[in-house]
């Protein structure tokens, strides 16, 4: 009984995720689902990313999921892009129906990128297709160098992996080689982009990845 219900929920989610992707494709907007643990730096990454893209004429919008507050939306609202907040009321991940509703409120045909900032959680968001074109999974140095293997369900389906806060590698004795070694068993296809949203190091590589993805046809 329980398993059937869960399967139905996932089937319904995936069907609607396909719808979301079709809508985005028709509008010509390319969508990123950004996932990480709480406090890895998703909002800060978007704060650093969006102004650069917008300056280049690449218009953006953000859909941001939060359990309770509007703090991330407030931070992103200070940028000059449409921001839609999804309050999950304690829910542990975003789902395709929530994204479908959020997309209705966005001027899709004018957008090149739609960034989805998922709920901070290394477990549950992994199981839910939202209709994105690419999944980006971020980890951060202070979380420790064992996260790829421990939370492999998040990193296995990722199209790109961001390693944030690399300015702290030396101070915290972080073993970057261990991350790459674990990735050999988890995900060998995704590029790993090391960066620091604080110092700005590595942000160019991330922006280049975004720019190149946008100009290529994407097949899910």
Q: Which is nearer to a second copy, 73 or 193 (CB)?
A: 73
Q: Is residue 149 near a second copy by the rule CB under 8 A?
A: yes
Cβ-based neighbour number of residue 155 at 10 Å: 26
What are the angstrom distances between the C-alpha of 92 and each of 121, 138, 204, 211, 217?
7, 17, 31, 30, 32
Among 16, 27, 31, 37, binds a second copy (CB under 8 A): 37
Q: Is residue 120 near a second copy by the rule CB under 8 A?
A: yes
Q: Is residue 49 near a second copy by the rule CB under 8 A?
A: no
* CB of 66 vs a second copy, minimal distance in Å: 6
Contact pattern for a second copy over residues 172 through 191, marking x by CB under 8 A: --------------------
Among 7, 15, 69, 200, binds a second copy (CB under 8 A): 69
Q: Which is nearer to a second copy, 106 or 130 (CB)?
A: 130
Binding residues vs a second copy (CB under 8 A) = 1-2, 5, 9, 37-40, 66-69, 71-72, 90-92, 119-124, 140-144, 146-147, 149-153, 165, 168, 171
């Amino acid at each position: 009984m329980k398993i059937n219900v869960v399967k139905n929920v996932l089937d319904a989610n995936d069907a609607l995720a396909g719808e979301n992707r079709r809508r985005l494709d028709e509008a010509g907007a390319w969508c990123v689902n950004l996932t990480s643990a709480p406090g890895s730096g998703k909002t800060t990454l978007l704060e650093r990313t969006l102004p650069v893209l917008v300056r280049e004429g690449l218009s953006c919008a953000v859909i941001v999921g939060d359990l309770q507050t509007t703090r991330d939306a407030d931070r992103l609202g200070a940028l000059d892009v449409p921001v839609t907040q999804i309050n999950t009321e304690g829910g542990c991940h975003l789902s395709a129906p929530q994204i479908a509703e959020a997309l209705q409120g966005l001027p899709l045909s004018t957008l090149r990128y739609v960034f989805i900032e998922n709920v901070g959680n290394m477990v549950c968001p992994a199981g839910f297709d939202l209709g994105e074109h690419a999944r980006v999974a971020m980890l951060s140095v202070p979380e420790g160098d064992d996260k790829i293997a421990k939370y492999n369900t998040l990193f296995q389906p990722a199209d790109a992996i961001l390693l944030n806060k690399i300015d702290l590698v030396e101070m915290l004795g972080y073993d970057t080689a261990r991350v790459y070694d674990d990735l050999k068993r988890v995900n060998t296809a995704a590029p790993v982009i090391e960066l620091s949203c604080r110092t700005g190091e590595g942000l160019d590589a991330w922006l280049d990845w975004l720019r190149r993805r946008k100009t290529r046809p994407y097949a899910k």
